[in-house]
Amino acid sequence: MPRREPLPHEEFLWDGGYHWGEWLEPGTVAGQHMQQDHGSVGTAFLHRSAQLLARIGPMLGHDKEVRRFEQLAAKALEAWRTEFIGPEGALTPDTQANHVRALAFGLVPDELRAQTATRLVELIRAADTHLGTGFLATPYLLPVLTDAGNVDLAFELIYRDTPPSWLYMVERGATTVWELWEGIDTEGTPHESLNHYSKGAVISWLHRYVAGIGLVEPAYRRFRVDPRRGGGLTWAEAVHDSPYGRIESSWQEDGATFRLTVTVPPGTAAEVVMPDGSRRDQGPGSQNYDCPLPIP
């Protein structure tokens, strides 16, 4: 029976109006999906958006607005936790996308992060080690897994070539990223757009984690190069054109040695983290590093 009076936290639930939600999540039907309650998605992004505005405000001289957005972010977070975290820490809805978002946006308290990450892995394994995310959570899936200590699973997902997966598109002859995971079916029939960005956001993981180029300070004035090995890869390289100039990371391994070359542009500095855990500070210029393999 519906409640006669709304609870205090419901003021900050974004659960009404026209909403795309986790668009084209595997196993959903587009027309039906748009009629569902997407409160967990909308409220999560209300918190995230307000939180980002509170962080950006001081950089742009909008100090007076910061407190208002901080309060809105806190209230939306409280509402999300009240509505979508159960008494034993289980999340509703129990989907990969919801668990990814909870970890990426800091929606769950610190004491529930390990439990939430474990459940995410369980959901992926229950899907025969396939992803189950749509437009909104896919960009965060592999970073969340890697940050939670599941980099091997992240590599497993990126190597999958049966739907839903990135390489299924390649196997079907794609030269662009599709809107739908199965944009061209086994009969060769196209569905939805065959040139969409969202699922292609996986490139961020390849740059930030496999090549290891990560932001530390705005505009990459300081950055970190911390490559992650796995999946049988023996080399990787990437560049980023920052406002200060080109950043480069290139590594290879030969079974005995891991070798990394880092290029730091003028006016910036980098922290270089090797797979053996050793750290070095590097100023402008190119420098080579190596460490022995295998690494535990």
User: Can you give the length of the chain in residues?
Assistant: 296
Contact by Cβ (8 Å): 207, 238: yes
Number of compact structural domains in the chain: 2
Domain assignment present for 158: yes
Pairing of strands 245-253, 235-242: antiparallel
Judgement on whether residues 278 and 237 belong to the same structural domain of the protein: yes
Largest Cα–Cα separation, the chain: 69
Q: Which CATH number covers residue 254?
A: 2.60.420.10
Does residue 153 lie in a domain region?
yes
For residues 140 and 205, give the distance between their C-alpha atoms in angstroms, rounded to a whole number: 8
Burial classification of residue 95, based on how many CB atoms lie within 10 Å of its CB (0-12 exposed, 13-18 middle, 19 or more buried): buried
Confidence (pLDDT) at 137 = 97
Q: What's the one-letter identity of residue 95?
A: T
Does residue 176 sit in the same domain as residue 219? no
Give domain status of residue 165, yes or no: yes
Residue 1 has what pLDDT?
A: 42
Q: Output the pLDDT for position 186.
A: 82
Q: Is residue 23 part of a domain?
A: yes
Q: Is residue 209 part of a domain?
A: no
**Residue where one domain finishes, among candidates 178, 203, 228:** 203
pLDDT at 185: 83
One digit per residue, the tens of pLDDT, for the chain of length 296 reads 455 688 888 888 988 777 888 998 998 876 655 656 789 999 999 999 999 999 999 989 998 899 999 999 999 999 999 999 999 999 999 999 999 999 999 999 999 999 999 999 999 999 999 999 999 999 999 999 999 999 999 999 999 999 999 999 999 999 999 999 999 888 888 988 999 888 999 999 999 999 999 999 999 999 999 999 999 999 999 999 999 999 999 999 998 999 999 999 999 999 999 999 999 999 999 999 999 998 76
**DSSP structure string for 51-87:** HHHHHHHHHHT-HHHHHHHHHHHHHHHHHHHHHHB-T
Residue located via tokens 């025969």? 128
Residues 261 and 166 in one domain: no
Report if residue 273 sits inside a domain: yes
Say whether both 194 and 229 belong to one domain: no
226: containing domain? 214-292
142, part of any domain: yes
Same domain, 163 and 253: no
Which residue's structure tokens are 């910061």? Answer: 66
Of 224, 226, 220, nearest to 270 (Cα)?
A: 224
